[in-house]
Amino acid sequence: MMNSKGLLLLVFLLSGMLAFSQRIVYSEPSRDDTRRMNFEIAGKIGNNFLIYKNVRSNNWISVLDNDMVEIGKQNLDFIPDNERLINMDIFSYPEFCYLIYQYQRKGIVYCEAARVNGEGKKVGEVMLLDTTRIGYTANNKIYTVLASEDKSKIIVFKINSKNKRMYQISSRLLSDRLDLIKESRLTLPMEDKDDYLGEFNLDNDGDLIFTRFDRVNSENIGNAAFVIKKAMEDSFHVHPLTTEKMYLDEIKIKPDNFNKRYFLTSFYNKQRRGNIDGFYFYIWDKVNDRVVIERMLEFSDELRKEARGNASTKAAFNDYFIRNIITRRDGGFIIGAESYYTTSRGNAWNRWNYFGSPYMRPYDYYYYSPYYNNYWGNRWNDRGSVRYQADNIVVFSFDSTGAPEWNNVIAKEQYDDQSDDLLSYQLFVTGGQLHFLFNVIESRRQILNDFAVSPDGEIKKSPTLKNLDRGHDFMPKYAKQVSARQMIVPCQYRNYISFAKIDFN
């Protein structure tokens, strides 16, 4: 039998363990880390954390140790400082990362790659991946670069859409050593002047997947197709989606590498510009080369009432966007969706006028890139008198047939009249739970909160994170999970950007 002193000691030790369960350590910003700095969290390379930073023509890697102390600053002098840097993509591995960047010199856009070690230093020579001759100054990136989930494959591709009825797609599939596996130059018919290409993904086998669709009167999606470009083939496999009884919204796509399936989903509505009615699911079996599930799932009135926030029950999901798709080994999947919108001078935001998310910039359809990059110079768009709002999160779980298992709502209400940097959330996956991290205003302060969702859908608010410094405002939407139990979150600190490491022990 434990005596009273032993019991007190046990309580003390347990409380200490709980207090240490979520430890936050902050970096000290330098004079160059202003709020207008562009950045991307590269990840944990070796024992250090690497962060890419850019101000005007200056590019460097900040190297931080486990206590978030800067132990190195490596200028990226191999990037031409007198040329126009267009974009930077970073792909991290345990002992190194690739910086794949594109810049313009006169009328040519170059796509190059550099390998960087855990000290932020370049290893070996810069590799030229591709060039494109253009007759104008590029504002958007020419190349899209994607990595497979296991990082074994990287693809670099570009889309010439000068001919609106026949896109030219050029791709270079690379290994994780950047050796060329397959180069392809293909044409893709675009049957209508309102045809578009949607989200692209690369699976672990090197197959490129995406969607092609048309907009009905530049609003909802009418006809749509799922497209596969197999790694070692020089052809597209086009599979039409069944959309006669509905209009689709923004189609999201996700490879299920473990089960060798592709998962597509979208919100749908039954009438043009109508209220969002539910989910559309499409699952392709790549082993048997056939569709195994195609169905619609209408939202219940009970769910609408719980998720609606300030909207009416019928319009409950009109401001929601699919943010996360997580596939499970049993073939099931989880979807996270968030209410995300703007208002301006008393006018409500309209999703149909933006072709999806209100923060997507217009596509450049000469050389078209389908991806919007949060880190590359897009954080400071001046929209005048605009209120940004990010409200409830709904989490859905489905089995391998697309049948619902459970859903739950994380209630929140966020807004800002200057920018959306402090709004929205980031997902952290650890210990079989999903952690949703976002700010909540408490006593006129932005306080970072952690809501954990268990495998059976139960939501629990975690204890307040320890060591929340009063001067740091977190920007969770730009955070990155860098290991099984660590996340790096950028912060606004006075007029600077700093970075916080959260340990989930």
* pLDDT value for 19: 38
* pLDDT value for 215: 80
Cα 85 from Cα 110, distance rounded (Å): 10
* pLDDT value for 374: 39
Render 22-41 in DSSP notation, one character per residue. EEEEEPPP-TT-BTT-EEEE
Cα 186 from Cα 166, distance rounded (Å): 10
Render 356-410 in DSSP notation, one character per residue. S-TTPPPP-SSB------SSSS-TT---SSEEEEEEEEEEEEE-TTS-EEEEEEE
208 in Cβ contact with 169 (< 8 Å): no
At residue 13, the 3 state secondary structure works out as helix
Cα 151 from Cα 308, distance rounded (Å): 39
Query: How many Cβ atoms from other residues are within 10 Å of residue 334's Cβ?
Result: 21
Where would I find the beta strands (DSSP E) of 67-194? 70-75, 84-92, 96-105, 108-117, 122-133, 144-147, 153-160, 166-175, 180-189
Please report, for residues 155, 466, 468, the alpha-carbon distance to residue 240 in angstroms, rounded to integers and kept in the order given. Answer: 25, 51, 50
Q: Could you say which DSSP state residue 84 is in?
A: E
* pLDDT value for 88: 95
Query: How many Cβ atoms from other residues are within 10 Å of residue 204's Cβ?
Result: 15
Query: How many Cβ atoms from other residues are within 10 Å of residue 132's Cβ?
Result: 18
* pLDDT value for 4: 46
Q: Could you say which DSSP state residue 300 is in?
A: P
Task: Name the phi and psi angles at 143, rounded to 5.
Answer: -100, 145
Q: What is the mean pLDDT of each run of 10 residues along the chain (505 residues)?
A: 44 39 88 94 98 94 98 94 86 98 92 98 97 83 95 96 91 98 96 85 98 79 94 97 90 97 96 92 97 96 95 94 95 96 71 50 37 40 74 97 96 92 94 92 88 96 81 95 96 96 89
At residue 471, the 3 state secondary structure works out as coil
Q: Where are the domains of the chain?
A: 36-142
343 in Cβ contact with 351 (< 8 Å): no
Task: Name the phi and psi angles at 303, rounded to 5.
Answer: -65, -40
Reported as half-sphere exposure (CB side, CA atoms, 13 A), residue 422 has a value of 24
Q: Is the dihedral of CA 462, 464, 466, 469 positive or negative?
A: positive
311 in Cβ contact with 320 (< 8 Å): no
Cα 170 from Cα 185, distance rounded (Å): 4
306 in Cβ contact with 393 (< 8 Å): no
